[in-house]
Every structure is written in C-alpha cells, then in structure tokens.
Amino acid sequence: MKEIDLIKDLVSLQSPVEALKSLARVYAGKVVFSTSFGYEDQVITHLLFANEIPVEVFTLDTGRLFPETYSTWNKTLDKYKRPIKVYYPDANAIEKLVTQKGPNSFYESVENRKECCFVRKVEPLKRALKGNAIWVTGIRAEQSANRKDMPQVEWDEANHIIKYHPLLHWTFEEVKDFVGKNNIPYNPLHDKGFVSIGCAPCTRAVKAGEDFRAGRWWWEDSSKKECGLHVHPAMGKALTV
C-alpha cells in the first residue's frame, strides 16, 4: 500500500512529537488517538497536549472501568485543560446483553466474553474511528510476543485505517521515566502490580515472573486472550489490548 510507505517515510526519521505534528498537518482533522489512561497512553497524551498538536484524543468507557482509571482521567483533564472525547457502548445492546445473560456472563465462556468485549469496546471503537485516516495507539513491542515484530505503521483491515505506534520501540523503563520526569498523571494501579489495565472484572495484578498479559482474562487459555481492538495483519488474528 503506497500510502503506508509514504507515512513510514514521513515518521521514520522523526521523534514521536515531530512525527505526530507531521501526521496532523498532512491528515488535518483525520488523526485520532485512543487512550485507556495506562502508562503508554499517558505519555502520548502528554506529547499531544503539551505540544498543542491538533489530534483528537478519545477513550472508550465500557461502564466497567476501575475507579482509579476514572480518577486518572479526571487528573488528566485538570492538568492539560484539553477535552478527551468519550464513546459509550450502545445502550440497547448493553441492556439486551445484561438482561439475557446477566452482568458477569463473560466468566462463563470465551464466546460470552468476546460478545461483551464487542458490545462494550469494539463497536464503540468503530464509531470513534469512522471517517478518520490515522489511528495513533500506545502499543509497544515489549508488551507481548505477538507485538515484537509489529511494524510502526500498519494497515488495520478491520477498521480500514492506518495505525501508527509512536512508542513501539520504547522500553517500559523509558515510558516510566518519561512519566516521572514530566509529572504526568498515571493510574495508581500501576504501583500495585497492574501492568495492562482494562475493565475491572477482567483485570488483575501481575505476579512476579508472570507475562505482561497474565493479568488480563486470567481464567482463559492464553491463546484465547483477545478482544478484537487490535488486529495484526501478519498474524491474521486480533491482538490483546
């Protein structure tokens, strides 16, 4: 895809800040960043807001987030005085799901859990991305084996959008140091062993020696751990978020 090659050339020799500025200029009004208020996402939010880069920042409120996540969200608004657009699940879909299967059906089967993820996350994401050209994410190669060979710029067939991962090659320590040096608000659950923070019923702290992803959907086989937000074309399957 020629456009992807052009974008790769555009961002390859630039810092994340300069790359984001370039993308915002070339694709004015069509670059969006999705945040879940984790370490990586807070770094990118800081880069965008502190440098006044015209990229829309949005989040998906599944209705099952941790109180600490909402607190981090509020602290971010207080610090930067910039809006973060929120997308909620379709009310009718949520009412139907919970009425038919109850509030915790996701523990009962992989199919039920994926259905919950679709209603609460995938469908709202599609609405958030619709009409845009570039989707900026906080994905890092270190986060899982599936991500270590990901390109920094790639085509997302499921959402028909180009994805850019500005922190792909950053280490966890680099991310954490950046957060500290720039006094960036972060989710206090990170200090309690939570590495990847999603919905409260589906996330736990990671124990010593466990994989980065062990805290997500821990009751499932590791090969089933995906929710459909991130799809890597080379793998032909969805990646966990």
Catalytic residue set: 227
**Whose structure tokens read 């799901």?**
97
**Beta-carbon-side half-sphere exposure of residue 125 (alpha carbons within 13 Å):** 25
Return the beta strands (E) in 100-229 as ranges: 134-136, 153-156, 161-164
Query: Is residue 11 within 8 Å of residue 152, measured between CB atoms?
Result: yes
Burial of 50 (0-12, 13-18, 19+ CB in 10 A): middle
Q: What is the chain's percent helix, strand, coil content, to nearest 5?
A: 45, 15, 40
Beta bridge partners of 54: none
